[in-house]
Amino acid sequence: MKDFKDKVALVTGARSGIGAATARHLAERGAKIAIGVRNDGDGEQTLAAVREAGSDGAIFTIDVSDEQQIEDGVAAVVDKFGRLDVLIANAGIEPTDTVPIQDWTVENIDNLLTINLRGVLLTCRAGMPHIVKAKGSVCLLSSLMGTVGSFGVGPYSATKAGVQGFTRTLAVEQQANGVRVNCVVPGAIATEMLERFSSTIGGFDAGKNVPMGRAGTAEEVAAAIIWLCSPAASYVTGQSLGVDGGITVVMPAAE
């Protein structure tokens, strides 16, 4: 299926994990891919996968903590490809510690807010004029922790809940422009980030804690992102779609 043929998609945080999987699958469906990465030299594996899928792509250094890099990066994408149809704001970081709010440093709080929430807002601000012109679609990435409570991750949860709230407002704001905006809310997904976060919290057993009995894959999240951005979801906007193996809809059994 080539339902993204001649479309241009920018995926931030596309070096690995969900971002890389999304870029690859969009390429398989005909999109040209702007691969947003935080550091110079990243993204080569994703670019190789995009080209192997038979599509055109290019790497753009876009550190979403840097307003000017976001503005310049989006401008460079449009300069190279001539348009922007799909925006996937995927770049984000996990907390490096799990402690009560009174033990968080201002520096750590600011770092999460800057990248996970401010970065999403600024990415959308920079990309929206081009998305409006194309009457395109936007997908933002939240997290299970933005929906449920968990010990020691207050600032991270706040950023991810903020992304869901922003999704709803942006959808209402942009509907008159023919732009759809949605959000994907991954649960425990087998990525480098989950490995790092799991080690921070002392381990996470997906087999015991996820109703489906396993962690999800980056490809499964990418499939949800692509569906939300595709013509198949033409009547869907302002939604936050959980891709979590059922973890948010089950009550723990009493022992």
Question: Do residues 215 and 180 make contact, with C-beta atoms less than 8 angstroms apart?
Answer: no
Q: Determine the pLDDT at residue 158.
A: 97
pLDDT band at 137 (very low <50, low <70, confident <90, very high): very high
pLDDT digits (tens, 9 = 90+) for 76-86: 999 999 999 99
Is residue 235 annotated as a catalytic residue, yes or no?
no
Neighbour count for residue 57 (Cβ, 10 Å) = 26
- In which region does residue 174 sit, left (phi positive, over 0), alpha (psi from -120 to 50) or beta (all else)? alpha
Among 60, 156, 166, 197, which one carries the catalytic annotation?
Answer: 156
pLDDT per residue as tens digits for the range 17-72? 999 999 999 999 999 999 999 999 999 999 999 999 999 999 999 999 999 999 99
The pLDDT score that the predictor gives to residue 175 is 97
User: Average per-residue pLDDT in the chain?
Assistant: 93
Q: Catalogue all structural domains in the chain, each as residue range(s) with its CATH number.
A: 8-187+218-243 (3.40.50.720)
Question: Which residue's structure tokens are 């520096």?
Answer: 107
Task: Indicate whether 164 pLDDT > 70.
Answer: yes
Place of tokens 């920079």: 126
Chain segment 195-252, per-residue pLDDT in tens: 666 555 555 676 677 888 888 999 999 999 999 999 999 999 999 999 999 988 875 6
Q: Provide DSSP, 78-111.
A: HHHHS---EEEE------S----GGG--HHHHHH
Write down the pLDDT at residue 215.
Answer: 87
Q: What is the mean pLDDT of residues 2-11?
A: 96
Q: Give me the pLDDT at residue 197, please.
A: 60
What pLDDT, on a 0 to 100 scale, did the predictor assign at position 122?
98
Flag the least confident range among 21-35, 90-104, 180-194: 180-194
